Amino acid sequence: MRFQKATRLSWMWACLTLILLFCASTARGQGPAPETAPPLFPGGALISYNSIFTTRGLMPGISSGIPVTARPTFSHEGDFNFTWGFYHDFDLTVLVPVVTNHFDRPGSPVAEGTGLGDAMVLAKYRFYRRDSPRGTTQASVTLGPKIPTGRTDLADTNGVRLPASLQPGSGSTDLFLAANWTYTGLFNLKRLVADEDFHSLIRSQGTQQTRLGSDLESRFWLSYRPYESKNVAREWFIGPVLTWLHSQDDRLAAVTQRGSGGDVLLAGVTTYAGLRPGMHLWLGMDWDVAHSAGGSFMPVRRHFSFGITQQFRLHL
């Protein structure tokens, strides 16, 4: 992504935006940039907010009660992101989520609540870049811990503590790994971009002696840029997205909960717009097109996300 030097007014606006987002706050989707492989330029920074709504199918074969492997039937995650390009080809991200979970099952107490989720501190390194008349090819890796900062004491309407899978936090220290690839100029069309984001969350045991299943996600976005202003202050990307989600079985007190994990294939569309230098909006929608049929697996059925990003220069 191209960046222009932000004015002092833009920096003040960015700080105010973040404060307002926090005050208004009650599968990951599109992030703060349309291309996932490039890091921020040295000395550059951004703040962003991403609002993610996820709806899951009901757990088959269960008519009452809350199973220990239940996932929220509806959840909202608000991600607050700060990223800093601290060195050439490197950037550092701090991500803090606020999570609202809701579990609804006929004959069961309503289970819902909001709390701080587990924060992540991630470092990205771009190890490959090649420029050509066709465009640019880039590849990067990202690594970092997920820290157990999240709330783990939510209870249902009867005061019974909810299973670990319904808590905003996990109580575990996990490892996030990602590989990203961006190819601009696909089929020699300079405005056609192929972008792949493959990441995994490797989990350890957390609250209630529960080890939630480790996750894998592969997200491929083919985007076309139908509009770009001459000074690149305004631009528009849009295109189809294909996402594969895989989750392993949960483990409770070292006992594997067979059938709690599974696979989901989502298809949708994402659009990303640059409104002015350093300010961008995005919107993404995905729907379930195929999923596995594990005994207690609750597949993602719908996924909707939108967000805002403000970039600026950070001089330390």
Q: What is the pLDDT of residues 158-181, one digit of tens each?
A: 888 999 999 999 999 999 999 999
**pLDDT digits 0-9 by tens, 63-101:** 667 889 999 999 999 999 999 999 999 999 999 999 999
Is residue 258 included in any domain, yes or no? yes
Structure token pair of residue 310: 């403000």
pLDDT at site 2: 40
**Residue 186: how many other CB atoms lie within 10 Å:** 16
Residues 6+ apart with CB under 8 A from 198: 178, 179, 180, 216, 217, 218, 219
Compute the distance between CA of residue 209 and CA of residue 29 in angstroms, rounded to an integer: 30
| Whether pLDDT at 235 is above 80 | yes
**Bridge partners, residue 220, by sequence:** 196, 242
At 261, which CATH number? 2.40.128.130
DSSP 3-state of 23: helix
If you average pLDDT over every residue of the chain, what do you get? Answer: 88
- Tell me which residue range forms the domain holding 63: 8-313
Is residue 71 included in any domain, yes or no? yes
DSSP 3-state of 157: coil
pLDDT class of 34 with cuts at 50, 70, 90: confident
Is residue 83 included in any domain, yes or no? yes
Is residue 2 included in any domain, yes or no? no
| Whether pLDDT at 305 is above 60 | yes
| Whether pLDDT at 293 is above 60 | yes
Number of domains in the chain: 1
Classify strands 119-131 and 111-116 as parallel, antiparallel or unpaired.
Answer: unpaired
- Cβ 3 vs Cβ 313: under 8 Å: no
Is residue 97 included in any domain, yes or no? yes
Prediction pTM value: 0.87
Residues present in the chain in total: 316
Q: What is the dihedral sign for C-alpha 103, 108, 113, 118? A: negative
Compute the distance between CA of residue 35 and CA of residue 15 in angstroms, rounded to an integer: 24
Compute the distance between CA of residue 108 and CA of residue 88 in angstroms, rounded to an integer: 54
Is residue 1 included in any domain, yes or no? no
Structure token pair of residue 307: 């967000």
Is residue 124 included in any domain, yes or no? yes
Amino acid at 49: Y
Q: Which of 61-70, 213-222, 239-248, 298-307 has the lowest mean pLDDT?
A: 61-70
Is residue 111 included in any domain, yes or no? yes
Classify strands 90-103 and 251-252 as parallel, antiparallel or unpaired.
Answer: unpaired
